[in-house]
Amino acid sequence: MDQVDGGAGYGQSATAGVSYPRAYRYTRGMRLFLYVFAAIMAGLGAWLVSIQVQHPVPMGWWLLLSGLALVLMGIYIAMSCTMSCLVLRADSIEIRSAFGSRTLRRNEIAGRRQQPTRGKPIQVVVPKNGRPLRLDSGYPRDSVLNAWLDALPDLDQQERQASEAKLMADPAFGANPKERLARLAKVRQLTKAVSMLSLAVVLWGYVYPHPYPWVIGLLALLPWCAVAMVGLSRGLICFDTLRNDVRPNIAVMLISPSLVLGVRALLDINLIDAMPAIEFGLIAGLPLVLVACMVGQRDQPRVWLLPMLLLPMVALPYGGGLLVLADVMLDHQPAQVFQTQVVRKYISTGKHPQPYLVLAPWGPQTTGDRVAVSRAYYAHVEVDTAVCVNLHRGAVGLRWYGVQDCAPVPKDNAIAAP
């Protein structure tokens, strides 16, 4: 076997006297799992089709199409499980699938990478031209296959070394390479600690936002702290880094608090003027995005990516959420009260169930509305009960409302019947 790098010695010893080609199919456990999964999908699809065939219902075409799609998916998974195969030769590697095959020769391969997944990382063979060749984790690994792959250049390691070498040569980060490396280590520790603190505040704001003003204030402050850290680091801390860049990335401190502010505004505030909140909220979030792009674009290889990422993930939730929350928290004007009735109530399904009351039309809501309430108030109020809606003007002009029990009329103000 040709030597490619320092790992080729191991490759030669592990592959000495090996006969080619060598075929690798999915392990027995993987095949069993895929066959069972395919059978379940195909069976479910066939059941859906049979329901529509035996007992046709209006608009049942979607049931028929869904069933056929599941059957086809099950057949495809079973075929892939049966026909998928990795074929290894001394000078090439081939992946066969249900609908074709692809071969890469050694002289066409640039190197190998590790693709992170939720479980075990997946090996990827990267060609000099074209799309990478992904080696599924279901293929068994032995010393011959490992040695063949280990003999390829490790592109991840090369990129990490190149990134570290570039940083070590930059005099902005220290007087000598040793000092620059020490500064990088300190910055990594700092960003790790700050990111953990940021995550704690984000969870606090999402799960149990009490005391409310303190939580909202911290969530609003964290993105600006992230911007300040990136700016003061002069490029040593980044919002957007390429894969295998040795510099720490602190984008989570910019994005996560912004998203939670938007979520809190959606969950906690019943807003009448939703469209103005979106429009003016996007404008309110632009200064944060512009400053983040200015400090974060230094020496960035993908200049276009950061603004495209930050506009929907930061500008809108941060600006809109903060604008709506400030509109409510700073509103001290008297409310206009409307009496209405609870038409029905329900608790939404999903990961985070939320109690809702459905109200009859009231004031500006001529078609009625649903309003999120606390579990305690949901249990307290009954269907067909009269409730009062307090309509507020909002500190910045965005109207919002809340629901509560109607105050009883004092006896002194009661009008005697004639």
> Tell me: the pLDDT tens digits for 96-106?
988 888 999 99
Query: Tokens 């000092």 — which residue?
Result: 179
* Out of 151-155, 234-238, 412-416, least confident range: 412-416
Which band of pLDDT confidence, cut at 50, 70 and 90, is reported for residue 293?
Answer: confident
pLDDT of residue 408: 73
Q: Let me know whether 404 and 325 are in one domain.
A: no
pTM of the predicted structure, to 2 decimals: 0.76
pLDDT of residue 5: 39
Q: At residue 409, does pLDDT exceed 80?
A: no
Average pLDDT over residues 121-136: 90
288, part of any domain: yes
Q: Let me know whether 15 and 137 are in one domain.
A: yes
2, part of any domain: no
Q: At residue 7, does pLDDT exceed 60?
A: no
The residue among 300 and 74 whose pLDDT is bigger is: 74
Which band of pLDDT confidence, cut at 50, 70 and 90, is reported for residue 1?
Answer: very low
Q: What is the DSSP letter of 58?
A: T
pLDDT of residue 414: 40
pLDDT of residue 6: 38
**Residue 235 phi, psi dihedral angles, 5° rounding:** 100, -5
Q: Let me know whether 121 and 206 are in one domain.
A: no
Q: Residue 267 is part of which domain span?
A: 165-329
pLDDT of residue 190: 94
Among 299, 187, 188, which residue's Cα sits nearest to residue 232? 187
Q: Let me know whether 210 and 325 are in one domain.
A: yes
Average pLDDT over residues 209-218: 95
Average pLDDT over residues 101-119: 89
Q: Let me know whether 50 and 73 are in one domain.
A: yes
Q: At residue 415, does pLDDT exceed 90?
A: no
379, part of any domain: yes
The residue among 138 and 34 whose pLDDT is bigger is: 34
Question: Each residue of 274-311: b (16+ CB within 10 Å) or e?
Answer: eebbeebbbebbbebbebbbebbbeebeeeeebbebbe
Q: Let me know whether 130 and 265 are in one domain.
A: no
176, part of any domain: yes
pLDDT of residue 321: 95
Please, which residues have CB within 8 angstroms of residue 171's CB and are 6 or more apart in sequence? none
34, part of any domain: yes
Q: At residue 300, does pLDDT exceed 70?
A: no
pLDDT of residue 217: 96
* Out of 109-113, 122-126, 308-312, 318-322, least confident range: 308-312
Decide which of 278, 307, 329 is a domain's last residue. 329
pLDDT of residue 15: 59
Among 239, 203, 201, which residue's Cα sits nearest to residue 222? 201
Average pLDDT over residues 72-78: 93
Six-digit token string for 388: 């009062």
256, part of any domain: yes
Q: Let me know whether 178 and 324 are in one domain.
A: yes
- Count of H-run helices and E-run strands, the chain: 12, 13
d(CA 58, CA 301): 55
Q: Let me know whether 314 and 362 are in one domain.
A: no
Q: At residue 10, does pLDDT exceed 80?
A: no
Average pLDDT over residues 313-317: 92
* Out of 3-7, 57-61, 252-256, least confident range: 3-7
1, part of any domain: no
Average pLDDT over residues 72-100: 91
Q: At residue 294, does pLDDT exceed 90?
A: no
Average pLDDT over residues 205-228: 95
Decide which of 156, 188, 211 is a domain's last residue. 156
3, part of any domain: no
Q: At residue 333, does pLDDT exceed 70?
A: yes
Q: What is the DSSP letter of 152?
A: S
Q: Which amino acid is at 364?
A: P
Decide which of 301, 329, 357 is a domain's last residue. 329
Q: At residue 58, does pLDDT exceed 90?
A: no
CATH of the domain at 389: 2.40.50
pLDDT of residue 279: 92
Q: Let me know whether 222 and 313 are in one domain.
A: yes
Q: Let me know whether 324 and 198 are in one domain.
A: yes
d(CA 394, CA 332): 8
Q: At residue 11, does pLDDT exceed 50?
A: no
Q: Let me know whether 258 and 285 are in one domain.
A: yes
Considering the chain, what percentage of its residues have pLDDT values greater than 70? Answer: 90
How many domains is the chain built from?
3
**Vertex 384: Cα angle to 383 and 390 (nearest 5):** 95
Which band of pLDDT confidence, cut at 50, 70 and 90, is reported for residue 299?
Answer: low
Q: At residue 303, does pLDDT exceed 90?
A: no
Q: Let me know whether 356 and 322 are in one domain.
A: no
The residue among 16 and 270 whose pLDDT is bigger is: 270
Average pLDDT over residues 178-187: 92
Average pLDDT, the chain: 87
Q: What is the DSSP letter of 172?
A: G
Which band of pLDDT confidence, cut at 50, 70 and 90, is reported for residue 305?
Answer: low
